[in-house]
Amino acid sequence: MKMHNFSAGPAILPATVLEQAADAVRDFDGLGLSILEISHRSPSFTKVLAETESLVRELLDLNDDYGVIFISGGASAEFFLTAMNLLNEDERAGYLDTGTWSTKAIKEAKLFGGVEVLASSKDKNFNYIPKGYPIPQGLKYVHVTSNNTIYGTQIKDWPETDAPLVADMSSDIFSRRLPMEKFGIIYAGAQKNMGPAGVTMVIIRKDLLGTVKRALPSMLDYRVHIEKGSTFNTPPVYPIYVCMLTLRWVKAQGGLEAMEKINEAKAKLLYDEIERNPKFKCTIPDPIDRSLMNVTFVTTEEADTAPFMEAAKAAGVDALKGHRSVGGFRASIYNAMPIESVQVLVDVMKGF
Ligand SMILES: *Cc1c(COP(=O)(O)O)cnc(C)c1O
């Protein structure tokens, strides 16, 4: 039976990407060698790195003010790297606390400088995006988690501030258009919306670097990775290659404008059924806060939880279980999720 992969991460990739990725393991670029066994400085991989970066630049319409790097350590390493590279001990950064990942970013940033939590939705188990909170002047940056993978909320209106935004976009990168002029740093672990686990993309406005007084170890210094084009040391070669294939696929879909439309249609299909069907309830009350990537919901009757999970499984719906801190269900419908698979889930809900 074909499985419909609703996993929150590592997550679904386009079927054509998986085929090409498998081919490259056997024979890459006509070399008679696997991509797993070639040098990261070989011409074949140098081409891959260049194309991956150029696709990122094209899709997000980045100018030369920004550096683009592919490093390891996951989004979790960026929690401290962003603060370490940007924030002096006597400076302050603002943080929006919208869930587990934001909370972790706040904890790590406090090791390096002043952290001001601008607003938090912790009071309601992070089921909304705070709005209308004041943002003081003079912050070095404002950190946001654009999409809260666990809770199913997403920022639709970016904070109004003169400070550059530093954004964890691990779970909605390349899912919609972005006003790049607002962003100082965007980072994303690849394994939700752009590739397999093992690589993190970081986009950095270069003028923000070199402003901290502390000494930075080379591996933790963004400037080193930018200068060396992500090859200061051995980068995650294969994950980068699969990211390139995924970005080619995104471009072929029509880029971010088209991706955004498709994602809106998929999310609408599912949220409409949750609203219509009295057996289900969305865990995010305000529609404006609902994520287009991770749709969180529960059954109205607790007793229906297990039977619905069974019914979904029987239809080939995989990984629908909600995160332990929320319970219920979470349907992750990232870029690569076809609308046909969302329809399968909706049909199970209709028939339940
Ligand atoms: C998954 C996730 C992370 C953690 O990513 P790692 O690569 O495991 O460190 C951080 N932020 C968000 C928004 C995520 O979805």
3 state SS for the chain: CCCEECCCCCCCCCHHHHHHHHHHHHCCCCCCCCHHHCCCCCHHHHHHHHHHHHHHHHHHCCCCCEEEEEECCHHHHHHHHHHHHHCCCCCEEEEEECCHHHHHHHHHHCCCCEEEEEEECHHHCCCCCCCCCCCCCCCCCEEEECEECCCCEECCCCCCCCCCEEEECCCCCCCCCCCHHHEEEEEEECCCCCCCCCCEEEEEEHHHCCCCCCCCCHHHCHHHHHHCCCCCCCCCHHHHHHHHHHHHHHHHHCHHHHHHHHHHHHHHHHHHHHHHCCCEEECCCCHHHECCCEEEEEECCHHHHHHHHHHHHHCCEECCECCCCCCCEEEECCCCCCHHHHHHHHHHHHHC
What average pLDDT score do residues 52-62 get?
Answer: 98
Kindly state the percentage of the chain with pLDDT values over 70.
100
Task: Determine which one of 97, 140, 168, 221 is catalytic.
Answer: 168
Asked if residue 299 has pLDDT above 90, the reply is yes
What average pLDDT score do residues 87-113 get?
Answer: 98
What domains are there in the chain, each with its CATH number?
15-252 (3.40.640.10), 255-351 (3.90.1150.10)
Pull the structure tokens for residue 28.
Answer: 């890459």
Pull the structure tokens for residue 180.
Answer: 């790049």
Give the confidence band of 38 by pLDDT, cuts at 50, 70, 90: very high
Residue 149 beta carbon below 6 angstroms from any ligand 1 atom: yes
Neighbouring CB atoms inside 10 A of 195's CB total 30
Q: What's the pLDDT score for residue 42?
A: 97
Q: What's the pLDDT score for residue 246?
A: 98
Residue 74 beta carbon below 6 angstroms from any ligand 1 atom: yes
Residues 16-34: tens digit of each pLDDT: 999 999 999 999 999 999 9
CB of 95 closer than 8 Å to CB of 118: yes
Neighbouring CB atoms inside 10 A of 168's CB total 29
Give the confidence band of 1 by pLDDT, cuts at 50, 70, 90: confident
CA distance 150 to 188: 15
Q: Is 266 a catalytic residue?
A: no
CA distance 1 to 76: 35
Residue 101 beta carbon below 6 angstroms from any ligand 1 atom: yes
Residues 131-169: tens digit of each pLDDT: 999 999 999 999 999 999 999 999 999 999 999 999 999
Q: Is 168 a catalytic residue?
A: yes
What average pLDDT score do residues 211-222 get?
Answer: 98
What average pLDDT score do residues 159-180 get?
Answer: 98
Kindly state the percentage of the chain with pLDDT values over 90.
99
CA distance 152 to 100: 12
Residues 244-291: tens digit of each pLDDT: 999 999 999 999 999 999 999 999 999 999 999 999 999 999 999 999
Q: Is 90 a catalytic residue?
A: no
User: Quick one: 66 exposed, middle or buried, by C-beta within 10 A (0-12, 13-18, 19+)?
Assistant: buried
Pull the structure tokens for residue 11.
Answer: 């997550």
Task: Determine which one of 101, 140, 172, 221 is catalytic.
Answer: 101
CA distance 274 to 51: 41
Report how far ligand 1's centroid is from the alpha carbon of 170 (Å): 6
DSSP strand pairing (317-318 vs 165-168):
unpaired
Q: What average pLDDT does the chain have?
A: 98
Amino acid at site 101: W
Q: What is the position in ligand 1's atom list of the atom closest to the CA of 145? A: 13
Give the confidence band of 101 by pLDDT, cuts at 50, 70, 90: very high
Report how far ligand 1's centroid is from the alpha carbon of 215 (Å): 27
What average pLDDT score do residues 204-218 get?
Answer: 98
Nearest CA to ligand 1 atom 3: 75
Give the confidence band of 2 by pLDDT, cuts at 50, 70, 90: confident
Q: What is the position in ligand 1's atom list of the atom closest to the CA of 78? A: 9
Task: Determine which one of 97, 140, 172, 192 is catalytic.
Answer: 192
